[in-house]
Amino acid sequence: MDARTVLTHLRDKKHLSDEEIIWFANGLATGDVTDAQAGAFAMGALLNGLSEPEKVMLTLAMRDSGDVLQWDMPGPVVDKHSTGGVGDTVSLPLAPALAACGAYVPMISGRGLGHTGGTLDKLEAIPGYRTDIAVAEMRKIVGDVGCAIVSASGRIAPADKRLYAVRDVTGTVESIDLITASILSKKLAAGLENLVLDVKVGSGAFMKTADDARALAQSLVKTANGAGCNTSALITDMNQPLAASLGNALEVMEAMDLLTVGHAETPMAQVTVALGGEVLVLAGLAKDREAGDAMIREVLVNGRAAEIFGAMVAAQGGPADFTDNWRDRLPSAPVVRDVFAVQKGRVLEINGEALGLAVVHLGGGRLVDGAAIDPSVGLSRVVRLGEVVDEYTPLAIIHAANPAASEQAAQAVRAAITVGEGEVTPLPLVHERIA
């Protein structure tokens, strides 16, 4: 078998056999497939699409191109994946909440991408927290604590890592079929039995329209279930930041406020509860979503999830007293200032992507691959849609490294938040469930 035959079949819209897909995925991992051939495959998939069986096989083949974890736990092994947004810190409270309800959560997460924040970057704002840990150590932490949030090793889905890099420079990132296989190959390599997907839609998401978000959610759910992982998805709103803070340490503070104070009615808490309840039903730990929601809400309020989060932080190198003293352990920016509206009115629209990019330019994200991140910078107390503001009401609080950066961020915040006359009805946090 050779790459030319596979590419010719894809070009001519002929069904790719399982053997052809497996060979091509292995070739991506070993280097037998060249960058030019990988780019041609990506373009062919973008233009001609892949059938459902082809997506399932590509997902499994890329999963099997590296290490696939196996678990022997007394409870179900579960996880959650978000397609990315701003102020989305759900993974931090959700993983320990699920563990508190009897699940085991080996959460392999990523770093910030574009305007969206990354779970690993947020956790590394905690002094000493290690995300790059060996599989054996992760197994022990998951077994002892109930959850671990780590980075993917180089041996997790190497075929996807190669194809993703090629897609990034060949204009093929937007292929829903390849997005599906990319996300799921890494998640399924973690050995999951149950998975809930949080597909974001709106100004702060990659998917801006309901149709695009629904298409991605349906593709992910069908392919994951076809690959043997019990999966459903929630389409959730990202027309405004989920939490009131954007930026790594600031978002950890939001998560800790939920875990330790028990504010279970904030937007972030509500999405955490909805996703957690969905997983518990999938895993057979709750009889229905109402019961699952109640279980997650209880462990967030009674402190059990906070206890597990603290144990996870300590096990991964962070402070042993983090849960009790998190306010003193997280870094703070030297310049903190309000940014005000230029006129009185109601908040009619929030450009979440623009706010996320403002945080990136403050130093809270990467403008070039491998750049260092300042964990202390960002935005807090960001207004929500429908709020009335004036020249004395802050649109947000800026946390910056210096006055010049804070002024640049202030201009970006004012441009991102539309204030005027009229009414606005925010969309529900959960738009739709895809099963």
Per-residue pLDDT of 197-211, as tens digits, reads: 999 999 988 899 999
Cα–Cα distances in angstroms (integers) from residue 386 to residues 96, 347, 383, 392, in the given order: 33, 5, 9, 17
Active site residue 122: no
Cα–Cα distances in angstroms (integers) from residue 146 to residues 6, 333, 425, in the given order: 43, 33, 40
Q: Which residue is catalytic, options 91, 109, 116, 119?
A: 119
Which residues share a beta bridge with 232? 196
pLDDT digits (tens, 9 = 90+) for 115-166: 877 899 999 999 999 999 999 999 999 999 999 999 887 788 999 989 988 9
Q: What is the pLDDT of residue 117?
A: 77
Grouping H, G, I as helix, E, B as strand and the rest as coil, residue 195 is strand
Q: What is the pLDDT of residue 191?
A: 94
Tell the residue number behind the tokens 């939001």, with chain if given: 254
Contact yes or no for 233/199 (Cβ under 8 A): yes
- CATH number for 335-420 (one of 3.90.1170.50, 3.90.1170.30, 3.30.930.10, 3.30.470.30): it is 3.90.1170.30
With CA atoms as reference, report the closest residue to 122 among 378, 406, 354: 378
387 membership: H or E segment, kind and range: none
Active site residue 4: no
How many of the other CB atoms lie within 10 Å of CB of 368?
Answer: 5
Active site residue 380: no
Active site residue 51: no
48: which 2 tokens? 């001609």
Q: Which residue is catalytic, options 83, 109, 172, 182?
A: 182
Exposure b/e, 377-395, CB count within 10 A at least 16 = b: bbbbebbebeeebeeeebb
CA distance 201 to 203: 7
Active site residue 82: yes
Active site residue 115: no
| DSSP alpha helix (H) spans, 227-359 | 248-261, 267-282, 289-301, 304-315, 322-329, 352-359
Q: Which residue is catalytic, options 55, 63, 186, 200?
A: 186
Q: Which residue is catalytic, options 55, 81, 115, 399?
A: 81
β-strands 194-201, 230-237 pairing: parallel
Give the number of C-alpha atoms closer than 13 A to the C-alpha of residue 240, restricted to the C-beta side: 25
Low-confidence ranges of the chain (pLDDT < 50): none
Cβ-proximal residues to 267 (8 Å cutoff; 6+ apart), any chain = 242, 243, 429
Does 335-420 match 3-63 at the fold level?
no
What are the structural domain ranges in the chain? 3-63, 78-325, 335-420
| Angle, CA of 303, 305 and 306, to the nearest 5° | 65
May I ask the CATH class of domain 3-63? mainly alpha
CATH for 78-325 is 3.40.1030.10
Q: Which residue is catalytic, options 59, 65, 82, 406?
A: 82
Query: What are the φ and ψ backbone dihedral angles of 79, each rounded to 5 degrees?
Result: -160, 175
Contact yes or no for 86/117 (Cβ under 8 A): yes
Q: Which residue is catalytic, options 79, 177, 198, 374?
A: 79
Q: Which residue is catalytic, options 63, 122, 187, 297?
A: 187
Hey, what's the torsion of the CAs at 218, 224, 226, 231, to 10 degrees?
Answer: -80
Q: What is the pLDDT of residue 271?
A: 97
Active site residue 186: yes
Tell me how far apart the terminal alpha carbons of the chain are, to the nearest angstrom: 37
**Burial of residue 411, with CB atoms counted within 10 A of its CB: 0-12 exposed, 13-18 middle, 19 or more buried:** exposed
Grouping H, G, I as helix, E, B as strand and the rest as coil, residue 328 is helix
